[in-house]
């Protein structure tokens, strides 16, 4: 694969999103169907728009920056039920965290996909097992 | 004590299997050290000056005899026959081989212990009052709350990559032996209108910018505690600085944004966090609490009073090393790991086995590790104190110095630590040896000396009555002294006394301070700290810097 790789519980795949994507920035354009969120964005400004969004893509500038996990939780708590993607420097060992935080999928570049092949992600794809949070939240 | 459920055991086995595979990938070269680093840190494995170091959590400082025996076995089999108890209720093994670490973790797992989240920018091992469940004046046992937080924070998907490390401490006593005001979050359990809840402090911490925690909430009822903690950490995760690791702790976030703004953000966040919990956590809490039910205490002190009256050495040991227990015929016994001249916090495998044996034979099978790097037998019947004292004496563990000048907290310093700028352990050893030679420390009374070998302050020097900070000045060790710090309920950061001292001047300087105190105290009942608060620093500075005082006067 040469382009971006989408990781889901089922394996690696090419990106099937064909629509446009707009940055959240200072506000959401009225016609947006998908939005790019960076860690400093205030996702509260998406309230009221969530129903018409098909994809929210949260950037992970580097694997040590965990802000995206909290943004995902917030979006889910606000009621977003659409496709939620973690995009950028996410490691195979973080896959279970991303899924548990509410992401549906992870987008990585071809280079990272080559260094961390599917087997390494698959090893963490049983993210619903051994989950203290699920136990505490009932 | 908490007994691991099948869930806990399965979680730990799975986690250890993951790490075993990661170690194999490191050894066969498919992981570089850079790639391996975050993975090993999540499992408590550091690369130190000379070797790897494995930091094992002793959650809220509680363990039983079987667990202590296993720590001894691990020390013998995979390390050099000893371990080092730290200021955060952990034990560190300083000499493991990388290939052995997965086996060490499995051995820990066999007794319900682990090294998860003892490092990295995540919620660390939750600490608690080391007299929990035993202290006479306790409001509530902090350990069930600490165990609930351990489960909530373990592998929490949102909080494994915070701006910086995050430390939580819990106390259930107004005496606050857990130093809650020096933690990212400190919880003080209190009772209000018949209900137990927590005063929540935030933004305390030592390190290069010492700060005392501020009250974020004056009462959070237990059913609301996890959502409230989650709100605090989520706010920090987004707001904490990531541009400068020295400004990344929540104490700086609180300082820069103000406690009112943090409270507003937390209260906003709390609404949705609360809705995500449906009470399952409180059902678990009920089971956890049942595990921590007090042992069946047995009445009767036997011939304790006669031993106490007849033997001055035993009497001194009891007076110095025991504290009041909730049951009249019991004591809380602190066993000093600070024999004069020894490395503070080190215990040999033989000593660990002696302590395990004593806990099993006499102490309801309970042990505690204190942040002051000592071991506690929390439930010791007075009728057995004499036998325990004799056994401890035979193992070199009967030093009667708890709370005295030689009961020093010291970080590992330059003997082990890659961050250290000066030695700590030898300074502690030489101070302790000096006071032993002078036979002065019982006359001096309560005195907390704390030593850090660098600005990161792992030795808690800021809250020592006398704090010592070892720095590097152009390649030469230099020791700054702070005075008047206090790690108790009304925590105070000590004040720097003046210019630092060379390595070979420190012990004399400390002796001058102590002699100055003895000269000016208003009787034997006035402690060092009380005298300092009454007189201020002037007479102590005069003792520290006699030559410069004269120069100033001339």
- Per-residue pLDDT tens for B473-515? 999 999 999 999 999 889 999 999 999 999 999 999 999 999 9
The secondary element (H helix, E strand) that includes residue B53 is strand B52-57
CB A138 to CB B39 under 8 A? Answer: no
Residue B549 has a pLDDT of 52
- Tell me the mean pLDDT in the region B171-189: 96
- Tell me the mean pLDDT in the region B155-173: 97
A132 and chain B in contact, CB less than 8 A: yes
Answer whether residue B553 shows pLDDT above 70. no
B7 and chain A in contact, CB less than 8 A: yes
Q: Where are the beta strands (DSSP E) in B382-500?
A: 409-410, 449-452, 466-473, 476-483, 495-496
Which residue has 């194999």 as its token pair?
B24
Q: What is the CATH number of domain B409-553?
A: 3.30.413.10
Q: How far is B179 from chain A (nearest CA, A)?
A: 28
CB A66 to CB B158 under 8 A? Answer: yes
pLDDT digits (tens, 9 = 90+) for B391-405: 999 999 999 999 999
Q: What is the CATH number of domain B6-110?
A: 3.30.70
Residue B548 has a pLDDT of 61
Cβ-Cβ contacts under 8 Å for A30 (sequence gap 6 or more): none
CB A133 to CB B157 under 8 A? Answer: yes
At residue B77, the 3 state secondary structure works out as helix
Answer whether residue B551 shows pLDDT above 60. no
Neighbours of B250 (CB within 10 A): 30
Q: Confidence band (pLDDT; 50, 70, 90) for A2? A: low
Q: What is the mean pLDDT of chain B?
A: 95
* Minimum Cα–Cα distance from B37: chain A residue: A64
Q: Is residue A90 part of a domain?
A: yes
Apex B172 CA angle, B406 and B290, nearest 5: 120
Q: Are B116 and B43 in contact (CB under 8 A)?
A: yes
B15 and chain A in contact, CB less than 8 A: yes
* Minimum Cα–Cα distance from B280: chain A residue: A138
**Closest C-alpha among B215, B112, B222, B217 to residue B172:** B222
Tell me which DSSP letter residue B126 carries.
Answer: P
Same fold, B6-110 and B134-291: no
Residue B420 has a pLDDT of 94
Q: Are A41 and A25 in contact (CB under 8 A)?
A: yes
Fold annotation for B310-394: Sulfite Reductase Hemoprotein; domain 2 (3.90.480)
Cβ-Cβ contacts under 8 Å for B54 (sequence gap 6 or more): B44, B45, B46, B92, B93, B96, B101, B104, B115
CB A66 to CB B226 under 8 A? Answer: no
A96 and chain B in contact, CB less than 8 A: yes
Sign of CA dihedral B73, B76, B79, B85: positive
Q: How far is A47 from chain B (nearest CA, A)?
A: 14
Residue B312 has a pLDDT of 96
Residue A9 has a pLDDT of 96
pLDDT digits (tens, 9 = 90+) for B206-219: 988 999 999 999 99
Total number of domains in chain A: 1
Q: Which of A78, A99, A137 is opposite residue B280, by nearest beta carbon?
A: A137
Cβ-Cβ contacts under 8 Å for A119 (sequence gap 6 or more): none
| CA B459 – CA B444 distance, rounded (Å) | 22
B361 and chain A in contact, CB less than 8 A: no
Q: Confidence band (pLDDT; 50, 70, 90) for A28? A: confident
Answer whether residue A1 shows pLDDT above 80. no
Q: Is residue A122 part of a domain?
A: no
DSSP letter string, B288-337: HHHHTPPP------TTHHHHHHH-HHHHHHHHHHEEEBSSTTEEEEEEPS
Residue A46: domain span: 1-14+32-105
| CA B140 – CA B345 distance, rounded (Å) | 28
Q: Which residues pair with B5 in a beta bridge?
A: none
A77 and chain B in contact, CB less than 8 A: yes
Q: How far is A39 from chain B (nearest CA, A)?
A: 8
Q: Confidence band (pLDDT; 50, 70, 90) for B39? A: confident
Chain B positions touching A67 (Cβ under 8 A) are 237-238, 242
Where exactly are the structural domains of chain B? 6-110, 134-291, 310-394, 409-553
CB B38 to CB A63 under 8 A? Answer: yes
| CA B430 – CA B506 distance, rounded (Å) | 9
Rg, C-alpha atoms of chain B: 23
| CA A103 – CA A72 distance, rounded (Å) | 7
Q: Is residue A10 part of a domain?
A: yes
Chain A interface test: which of B5, B161, B231 (most A C-beta within 10 Å): B161
CATH number at residue A1: 3.20.20.70
Tell me which DSSP letter residue A36 carries.
Answer: E
CB B157 to CB A78 under 8 A? Answer: no
pLDDT digits (tens, 9 = 90+) for B307-323: 999 999 999 999 999 99
Chain B positions touching A73 (Cβ under 8 A) are 158, 234
Q: Are A86 and A107 in contact (CB under 8 A)?
A: yes
Residue B45 has a pLDDT of 96
* Minimum Cα–Cα distance from A96: chain B residue: B157
Instruction: List Cα–Cα distances, B365 to B107, B173, B237, B350, B368, in angstroms.
Output: 20, 23, 40, 18, 10
CB B161 to CB A70 under 8 A? Answer: no
B270 and chain A in contact, CB less than 8 A: no
Residue B554 has a pLDDT of 43
Predicted complex ipTM exceeds 0.95: yes
Q: Does domain B134-291 have CATH number 3.30.413.10?
A: yes
Q: In three state form, how does the secondary structure of B271-289 look?
A: HHHHHCCCCHHHHHHHHHH
B166 and chain A in contact, CB less than 8 A: no
Tell me which DSSP letter residue B120 carries.
Answer: S
Q: Is residue A138 part of a domain?
A: no
Residue A124 has a pLDDT of 87
Q: How far is B141 from chain A (nearest CA, A)?
A: 21
Q: Are B128 and B143 in contact (CB under 8 A)?
A: yes
Q: What is the dihedral of CA B507, B508, B510, B511, to 10 degrees?
A: 120
A136 and chain B in contact, CB less than 8 A: yes
**Closest C-alpha among B284, B242, B237, B232 to residue B262:** B232
Q: Is residue A112 part of a domain?
A: no
Q: Confidence band (pLDDT; 50, 70, 90) for B48? A: confident
CB A136 to CB B280 under 8 A? Answer: yes
B30 and chain A in contact, CB less than 8 A: no
């Amino acid at each position: 694969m040469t382009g971006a790789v989408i990781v889901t519980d089922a394996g690696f795949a090419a990106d099937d999103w064909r629509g446009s994507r707009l940055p959240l920035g200072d506000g959401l354009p009225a016609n947006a169907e998908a939005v790019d969120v960076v860690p400093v964005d205030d996702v509260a400004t998406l309230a009221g728009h969530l129903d018409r969004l098909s994809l929210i893509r949260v950037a992970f500038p580097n694997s040590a920056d965990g802000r995206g996990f909290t943004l995902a939780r917030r979006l889910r708590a606000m009621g977003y039920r659409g496709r939620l993607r973690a995009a950028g420097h996410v490691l195979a060992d973080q896959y279970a965290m991303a899924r548990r935080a509410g992401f549906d999928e992870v987008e990585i570049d071809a280079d990272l996909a080559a260094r961390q092949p599917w087997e390494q992600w698959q090893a963490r794809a049983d993210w619903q097992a051994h989950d203290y949070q699920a136990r505490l939240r009932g | 004590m908490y007994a691991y459920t099948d869930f806990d055991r399965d979680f730990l086995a799975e986690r250890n299997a993951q790490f075993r595979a990661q170690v194999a990938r490191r050894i066969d070269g498919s992981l570089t050290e850079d790639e391996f680093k975050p993975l090993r840190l999540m499992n408590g494995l550091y690369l130190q000056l000379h070797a790897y170091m494995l930091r094992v959590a002793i959650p809220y400082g509680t363990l039983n005899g079987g667990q202590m025996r296993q720590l001894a076995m691990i020390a013998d089999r995979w390390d050099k026959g000893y371990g080092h108890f730290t200021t955060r209720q952990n034990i560190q093994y300083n000499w493991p081989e990388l290939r052995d670490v997965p086996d060490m973790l499995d051995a820990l797992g066999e007794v319900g212990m682990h090294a998860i989240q003892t490092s990295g920018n995540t919620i660390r091992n939750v600490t608690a009052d080391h007299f929990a469940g035993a202290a006479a004046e306790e409001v509530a046992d902090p350990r069930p709350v600490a165990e609930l937080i351990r489960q909530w924070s373990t592998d929490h998907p949102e909080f494994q990559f915070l701006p910086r490390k995050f430390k939580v401490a819990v106390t259930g006593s107004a005496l606050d032996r857990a130093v809650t005001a020096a933690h990212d979050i400190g919880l003080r359990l209190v009772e209000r209108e018949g209900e137990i809840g927590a005063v929540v402090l935030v933004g305390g911490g030592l390190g290069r910018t010492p700060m005392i925690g501020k009250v974020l909430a004056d009462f959070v009822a237990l059913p609301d505690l996890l959502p409230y903690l989650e709100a605090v950490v989520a706010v920090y995760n987004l707001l904490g600085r990531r541009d400068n690791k020295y400004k990344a702790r929540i104490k700086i976030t609180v300082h820069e944004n103000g406690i009112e703004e943090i409270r507003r953000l937390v209260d906003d966040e709390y609404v949705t966090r609360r809705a995500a919990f449906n009470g399952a956590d409180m059902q678990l809490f009920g089971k956890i609490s049942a595990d921590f039910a007090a042992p069946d205490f047995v009445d009767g002190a036997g011939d304790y009073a006669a031993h106490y009256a007849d033997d001055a050495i035993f009497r001194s040991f009891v007076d110095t090393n025991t504290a009041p227990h909730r049951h009249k015929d019991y004591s809380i016994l602190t066993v000093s790991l600070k024999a004069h001249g020894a490395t503070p916090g080190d215990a040999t495998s033989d000593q660990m086995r002696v302590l395990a044996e004593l806990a099993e034979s006499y102490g309801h099978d309970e042990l505690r590790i204190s942040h002051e790097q000592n071991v506690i037998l929390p439930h010791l019947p007075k009728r057995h104190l004499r036998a325990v004292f004799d056994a401890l004496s035979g193992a070199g563990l009967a030093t009667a110095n708890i709370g005295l000048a030689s009961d020093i907290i010291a970080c590992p310093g330059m003997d082990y630590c890659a961050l250290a700028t000066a030695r700590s352990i030898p300074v502690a050893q030489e101070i302790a040896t000096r006071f032993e030679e002078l036979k002065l420390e019982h006359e001096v009374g309560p005195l907390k000396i704390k030593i850090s070998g660098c600005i990161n302050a792992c030795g808690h020097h800021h809250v020592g009555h006398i704090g010592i900070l070892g720095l590097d000045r152009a390649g030469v060790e230099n020791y700054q002294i702070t005075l008047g710090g206090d790690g108790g309920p009304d925590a105070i950061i000590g004040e720097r006394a003046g210019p630092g001292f060379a390595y070979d001047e420190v012990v004399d300087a400390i002796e001058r301070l102590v002699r100055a105190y003895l000269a000016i105290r208003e009787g034997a009942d006035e402690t060092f700290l009380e005298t300092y608060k009454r007189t201020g620093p002037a007479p102590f500075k005069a003792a520290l810097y006699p030559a410069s005082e004269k120069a100033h006067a001339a």
